Amino acid sequence: MSRYYQPEIETASREQIRTWQDERLRKQVRHVWDHVPYYRKKMQDAGVSPEDIRSVDDLRKLPFLMKQDLKDAYPYGLLAVPLKDCVRIHSTSGTTGKRVVAFYTQHDIDLWEDCCARAIVAAGGTNEDVCQVAYGYGLFTGGAGLDGGSHKVGCLTVPASSGNTERQIMFIRDLNATILCCTPSYAAYLGESMKEMGLTPDQIPLKAGIFGAEAWSEEMRQSIQETLGIKAYDIYGLTEISGPGVAYECEAQTGMHINEDHFIAEVINPDTGEVLPDGQQGELVFTSITKEAFPLIRYRTRDICVLSHEKCPCGRTHVKMCKPRGRTDDMLIIRGVNVFPSQIETVLLNQGYAANYQILVDRVRNTDTLDVQVEMTPEMFTDNLGEISERQKRLTEGLRAMLGLTAKVTLVAPKSIVRSEGKAVRVIDKRKI
Ligand code: DLL
């Protein structure tokens, strides 16, 4: 039997959803026109004004918003309420030095937590459950979002945050955690560690997992479900639009319901911007229609996806998105952290290296590894091992400061990285996802 967190919303008729979207879109467009000069200018440049936007059908008249806009408007340029009304930020990587910063009013947080609560209830969560949140807490949205949702459902929340595998397993066992929230790769790693400890699935109290923030395959789902003895649910979201819970899976496990009362989804041809019909693959675009502080209109996510309005056996009526099938840009997700090769390049150039480098990504025992090979320039070439090790250390520190990740840096001799005759091959990703 399906259970819902907000049944009247989650199972609303398509007409009702459409009415909400039409009303909220009109209001949102007026809100940004009145309060965000950046938007007003963008709309003026495109020759549209709030009067032109009467319903969702008019959405395509509005210009797209890109990650570059967020960079140009950094940090406060897209803020739509006075700063005194904001209570929090979260942040994710930008393509280069500047990060993306998203703002929230208390009301924004409240609605976001509702979205996460819907995901937890869809995974079978109730106030009888112990929900261990092993997504990172802090600037990343994963910890805070699922934590808030778990409170709303009334679960006993274990704010474990990421890492410290032994302690995670101890809490799962000692507190009888029934729901685990973390990245799928960390779930797989926890499963493997428990297996090594001799624990069989029936000795693990977990019954469900809510895994997202990175791509994972059906094969990976099967394997996690088997080792942990759980049902594994996907969850999708991005900082710019709120965080986890933009879309979530139900028991059908055939795509994620997008919370359409808060977000309007479109799929477009990334080259032409043309809106594509259901079933066609393209770039996912979101418009947040209830956000107060940081409303984004037609934000291009760069995630490649397909939408489906097919009837879902769970009774939810909101459109479903497939698992993202890739990206239109070169963003990598390593240990749940978004990484752009351009960020790595910036660190190298800042430390006097040329842009001859290679990024090797792999997955060893369910944990992503990041190796960066950097060519020394002929001027800086040395075979002094102490000096090389010192420089590698400096690069590792620079990368840690830029990415929030530890990479293994190896300095190599000038001209030792194979030159490509076409585009440079900067990234070798050996992970089988
Ligand atoms: O990853 C929010 C999140 C936290 C989602 C916890 C789910 C669970 P960002 O760090 O801004 O936010 O990264 C957003 O991650 O554009 C996708 O490319 C990717 N992504 C997120 N969820 C999934 C998923 C969070 N379920 C970017 N499957 C997005 C595949 C995902 N990719």
CA 136 to centroid of ligand 1, rounded, Å: 13
pLDDT tens for residues 288-316?
999 999 999 999 999 999 999 999 999 99
pLDDT tens for residues 193-246?
999 999 999 999 999 999 999 988 888 899 999 999 999 999 999 999 999 999
pLDDT of residue 415: 87
pTM: 0.91
CA 361 to centroid of ligand 1, rounded, Å: 18
Query: Ligand 1, atom 16: nearest CA belongs to which residue?
Result: 238
Residue 211 CA: which ligand 1 atom is closest? 8
Q: Determine if ligand 1 sits within 6 Å of the CB of residue 238.
A: yes
pLDDT of residue 198: 96
pLDDT tens for residues 121-135?
999 999 999 999 999
Averaged pLDDT score across all residues of the chain: 95
User: Which of 55-64, 284-293, 359-368 is predicted least confidently?
Assistant: 359-368
Q: Determine if ligand 1 sits within 6 Å of the CB of residue 233.
A: no
Query: What is the assigned CATH class of domain 7-329?
Result: alpha beta
pLDDT tens for residues 375-416?
998 989 999 999 999 999 999 999 999 999 999 999 999 989
CA 246 to centroid of ligand 1, rounded, Å: 10
Average pLDDT over residues 86-113: 91
pLDDT of residue 93: 82
Q: Determine if ligand 1 sits within 6 Å of the CB of residue 141.
A: yes
Query: Ligand 1, atom 29: nearest CA belongs to which residue?
Result: 238
pLDDT of residue 355: 79
pLDDT of residue 1: 53
CA 45 to centroid of ligand 1, rounded, Å: 32
Query: Ligand 1, atom 9: nearest CA belongs to which residue?
Result: 238
Ligand 1 pocket: which of 338, 343, 405, 433 to mutate (most atoms <8 Å of CB)? 338
The secondary structure of the chain, three-state, reads: CCCCCCHHHHCCCHHHHHHHHHHHHHHHHHHHHHHCHHHHHHHHHCCCCHHHCCCHHHHHHCCCECHHHHHHCCCCCCCCCCHHHEEEEEEECCCCCCCEEEEEEHHHHHHHHHHHHHHHHHCCCCCCCEEEECCCCCCCHHHHHHHHHHHHHCCEEECCCCCCHHHHHHHHHHCCCCEEEECHHHHHHHHHHHHHCCCCHHHCCCCEEEEECCCCCHHHHHHHHHHHCCEEEEEEEEHHHCEEEEEEECCCCCCEEECCCCEEEEEECCCCCCECCCCCCEEEEEEECCCCCCCCCCEEEEEEECEECCCCCCCCCCCEECCCCCECCCCEEECCEEECHHHHHHHHHHCCCCCCEEEEEEEECCEEEEEEEEECCHHHCCCCHHHHHHHHHHHHHHHHHHHCCCCEEEEECCCCCCCCCCCCCCEEECCCC
Query: Ligand 1, atom 1: nearest CA belongs to which residue?
Result: 213
CA 236 to centroid of ligand 1, rounded, Å: 5
Q: Determine if ligand 1 sits within 6 Å of the CB of residue 341.
A: no
Q: Where are the domains of the chain?
A: 7-329, 333-429
The CATH number of domain 333-429 is 3.10.180.10: no
